[in-house]
């Protein structure tokens, strides 16, 4: 065979191959128009649905039966859906493919679609899908403030479900070396997508310094997968410092509802260094007083079973409970009546427990300091209808002088200051001295007491005290003599009689 014949045969064979290839192109052709992912941000352990939209190409001339739609990860088939139906030319169909990824990461997947036309020819198409799977665990946030050795502390936390599925049976726990868990376990039955929940642990450190705390959340995903996640935080633990302080202050009577102190007056025994001054002298000549002892926890650890003992010249006259537990930074004010206490020295002792021992703190007041002190004595109220005149003496019962003394009528129930003497200036009163005063007030029928206010200065300190004078029952207004018209008539008759007597005497002389 010559070369011309060989070339012709080769050309013929190539033409036959080309014709055969062209004839093998099917009349039904498939395309993947789009692929949707739900949720858009899948998480490990939670279901994710990948939905391709399969269409029969507009250029197809024959219908096609969809034999299988598969989701593959390399050589592994994750989902296989068969017999999804038939497509006419230009039609489309969506095929949901649902699976779960146990581990987070990036997955390069493939959607494969195969179909058969009426002539039995097979057509296929594949579409790559790239998927990022995020961790499906809950998120933990822990707030670790400084704690104190041997003292119960609260650790606050927050657990959040960042996934788009429900997390269930969440068990939270905390642990750390040198830390005792008083309440170290919490449970959350379910946590919906995007939901968050606050929680607390109660711990008691048994050491000092910096300690690591590990918080763990065990959980179950929506598909039943069980897993856990942990985080580690540090907490600074200080040495416990127990410290309680005492402060004495004057009370005005409104700061306590103690029945034992209802009768305590506003003007109290003069105590150097605290508010108050003088007193209202009663029938027995005693002086009423109401003071408050402020018990404060200025340490960093709570104290328990706190009590206050009040003493006059070393002898106890009142023991009162303060608090079962007094936390750091808190205080309690205990009212103490020192009515009729003539002792020069008052002292107060607070006792408390620090866990393994009993501690005490004391403070004292020396009332022997020479200071002025005022007292209202010899007070009297005279009425002329509703107009009242209040007279009395303001005495200085202390060892020093008082200056700038002013006594005035205060507004009260059915009582108000009235001209001409709503207030009275007394000036300076020396020790053991006194000064009279006179005030006027409008006092109604319903008034039971007349309130007075005394202002004065002791050692440069301005003080204001109050005293209430009782209003005694007033009888009906009466005149000492007869009614005025009787008096006038009697006087006229007397004058007439005298005139007649003079006339008779004159006639006799003639």
Domain holding 409: CATH number? 2.60.40.1230
CB 89 within 8 A of CB 61: yes
Choose the final residue of a domain: 84, 115, 133: 133
Same domain? For 307 and 402 the reply is no
Task: Kindly state the DSSP code that residue 261 receives in the 8-state scheme.
Answer: G
Nearest C-alpha neighbor of 244 from the set 351, 93, 324? 351
Same domain? For 149 and 234 the reply is yes
CB 123 within 8 A of CB 26: yes
- Any domain includes 16: no
Same domain? For 356 and 249 the reply is yes
Same domain? For 398 and 329 the reply is no
- As given in the structure block, the two tokens for residue 506 are 């004159």
pLDDT on residue 61 = 77
Choose the final residue of a domain: 470, 486, 502: 470
Same domain? For 256 and 348 the reply is yes
Q: How many domains does the chain have?
A: 4
- Any domain includes 85: yes
CB 112 within 8 A of CB 124: yes
Same domain? For 155 and 231 the reply is yes
Same domain? For 263 and 234 the reply is no
- Any domain includes 278: yes
Peptide bond into 420 cis (omega under 30): yes
Same domain? For 359 and 250 the reply is yes
CA distance 359 to 370: 34
Choose the final residue of a domain: 221, 238, 255: 238
- CA 79 vs. chain centroid, Å, equals 55
pLDDT lower than 70: segments of the chain: 1-28, 58, 252-290, 339-344, 366-370, 475-510
| 69-85: pLDDT as tens digits | 999 999 999 999 998 88
Same domain? For 430 and 408 the reply is yes
- Any domain includes 478: no
Task: Kindly state the DSSP code that residue 284 receives in the 8-state scheme.
Answer: T
CB 116 within 8 A of CB 102: no
- Any domain includes 258: yes
Same domain? For 281 and 354 the reply is yes
Domain region containing 458: 374-470
pLDDT on residue 499 = 64
pLDDT on residue 275 = 35
Same domain? For 122 and 28 the reply is yes
- Any domain includes 399: yes
- What order of strands is seen across the sheet that includes strand 244-250? 244-250, 290-297, 331-337
- As given in the structure block, the two tokens for residue 502 are 């003079």
The model carries a pTM of 0.49
- Any domain includes 483: no
Q: Residue 215's domain is classified under what CATH number? A: 2.60.40.10
- Any domain includes 269: yes
CA distance 265 to 278: 10
Same domain? For 171 and 190 the reply is yes
- As given in the structure block, the two tokens for residue 21 are 């290839």
- As given in the structure block, the two tokens for residue 459 are 């050692």
The dihedrals phi and psi of 382, each to the nearest 5 degrees, come to -110, 140
């Amino acid at each position: 065979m010559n070369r011309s014949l060989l070339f012709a045969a080769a050309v013929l064979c190539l033409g036959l191959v080309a014709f055969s290839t062209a004839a093998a192109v099917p009349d039904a052709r498939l395309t993947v128009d789009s692929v949707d992912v739900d949720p858009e941000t899948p998480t490990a352990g939670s279901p994710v649905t990948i939905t391709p939209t399969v269409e029969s190409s507009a250029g197809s001339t024959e219908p096609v039966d969809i034999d299988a739609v598969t989701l593959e990860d390399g050589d592994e088939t994750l989902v296989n859906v068969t017999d999804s139906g038939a497509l006419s030319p230009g039609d489309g169909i969506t095929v949901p493919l649902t699976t779960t990824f146990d581990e987070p990461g990036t997955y390069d997947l493939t959607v494969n679609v195969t179909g058969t036309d009426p002539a039995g020819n097979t057509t296929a198409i594949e579409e790559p899908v790239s998927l990022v799977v995020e961790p499906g665990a809950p998120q933990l946030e822990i707030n670790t403030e400084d704690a104190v050795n041997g003292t119960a502390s609260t650790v606050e936390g927050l657990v959040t479900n960042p996934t788009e599925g429900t997390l269930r049976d969440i068990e939270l726990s905390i642990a750390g070396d040198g830390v005792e868990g008083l309440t170290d376990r919490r449970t959350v039955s379910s946590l919906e997508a995007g939901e968050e929940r606050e929680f607390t642990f109660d711990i008691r450190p048994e050491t000092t310094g910096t300690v690591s705390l590990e918080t763990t959340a065990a959980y179950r995903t929506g598909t039943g997968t069980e897993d856990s996640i942990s985080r580690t935080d540090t907490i600074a633990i200080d040495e416990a410092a127990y410290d309680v302080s005492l402060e004495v202050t004057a009370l005005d009577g409104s700061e306590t509802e103690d029945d034992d102190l209802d009768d305590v007056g506003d003007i109290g025994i003069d105590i150097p260094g605290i508010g108050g001054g003088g007193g209202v002298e009663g029938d027995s000549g005693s002086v009423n007083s109401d003071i408050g002892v402020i018990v404060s926890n200025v340490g960093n650890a709570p104290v328990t079973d706190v009590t206050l003992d009040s003493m006059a010249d070393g002898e106890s006259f009142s023991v009162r409970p303060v608090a079962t537990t007094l936390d750091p930074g808190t205080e309690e004010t205990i009212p103490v009546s020192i009515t009729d206490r003539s002792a020069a020295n008052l002292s107060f002792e607070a006792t408390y427990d620090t866990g393994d021992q009993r501690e005490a703190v004391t403070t004292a007041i020396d009332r022997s300091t020479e200071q002025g002190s005022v007292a209202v004595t010899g007070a009297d109220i005279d009425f002329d209808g509703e107009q009242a005149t209040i007279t009395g003496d303001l005495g200085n019962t202390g060892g020093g002088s008082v200056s700038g003394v002013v006594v005035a009528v205060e507004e009260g129930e059915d009582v108000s200051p009235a001209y001409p003497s709503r207030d009275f200036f007394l000036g300076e009163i020396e020790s053991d001295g006194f000064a009279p005063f006179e005030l006027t007030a409008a006092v109604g029928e319903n008034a039971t007491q007349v309130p007075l206010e005394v202002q004065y200065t002791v050692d440069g300190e301005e003080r204001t005290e109050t005293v209430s004078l009782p209003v005694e029952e007033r009888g009906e207004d009466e005149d000492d003599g007869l009614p005025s018209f009787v008096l006038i008539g009697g006087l006229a008759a007397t004058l007439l009689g005298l005139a007649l007597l003079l006339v008779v005497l004159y006639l006799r002389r003639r």
